[in-house]
Amino acid sequence: MSRSMLVAAVVVMGTLGAPLPAGAEYNPGVQSRYDALGNVVEGPGAVHYSSASAPNYTPIAREIVSFDGSYAPGTVVVKTAERRLYLVLGDGKALRYGIGVGRPGFAWAGQHTVTRKAEWPGWTPPPEMRRRQPHLPAYMAGGPENPLGARAMYIGSTYYRIHGSNEPWTIGQAVSSGCFRMTNDDVTDLYERVKVGARVVVIN
């Protein structure tokens, strides 16, 4: 290894404060490195938390806000650029939640419906994700360690979901493989309000 490469490696390690997680994935298209849950740990969009600092994140409070748009009550509107999800209440109001969104190269837009809901869902990583990260399990049972968290709402016939998270400090970040993550408290609240068949509108 050349001296310049060695210096660069030391700088990266110093920035992260620890070796990259086992199974970290490198995406040369956006020059970022991701851990097994899709969190950006190096490069654009990286968010660095140690086990000591993670509990000190500032939660994004859900709140009722003014909302313009010709959406029927019960519609879920995701504004990716804002990293916010809106549940339309009607009368010019919506309930706004903080969310985590797709990392660079994984953001998307479109309209679908909620086709299924699940409490403490199991997780079956899609084939594309397992090809990128072959160390992932074929299936993970639901529970506190599951990256889908306490609740999941499945979007159309896609692999995408609105789901909880066991890493609430990543909410408000662009870290996922296209799903929308929420705190377990917020996703449980939304789960009780949203019905199967509800319209989901995703805007970049």
Burial of 50-67, coded b for 16+ CB within 10 Å and e otherwise, reads: eeeeeeeeeebebeeeeb
User: CA–CA separation, 14 vs 142, rounded Å?
Assistant: 35
Q: Most distant CA pair in the chain: distance in Å? A: 64
- CA angle centred on 180, ends 20 and 40, rounded to 5°: 15
Mark whether 135 is an active-site residue.
no
Q: List, in order, residues 6 or more apart from 37 with CB less than 8 Å away.
A: 147, 167
Mark whether 112 is an active-site residue.
no
Assigned token pair, 7: 């210096």
Which residue among the candidates 48, 112, 135, 163 is catalytic per the annotation? 163
Assigned token pair, 14: 């110093």
Assigned token pair, 72: 């029927």
Which residue among the candidates 48, 112, 135, 179 is catalytic per the annotation? 179
- The one-letter amino acid code at 75 reads T
Q: Which residues are catalytic?
A: 163, 179
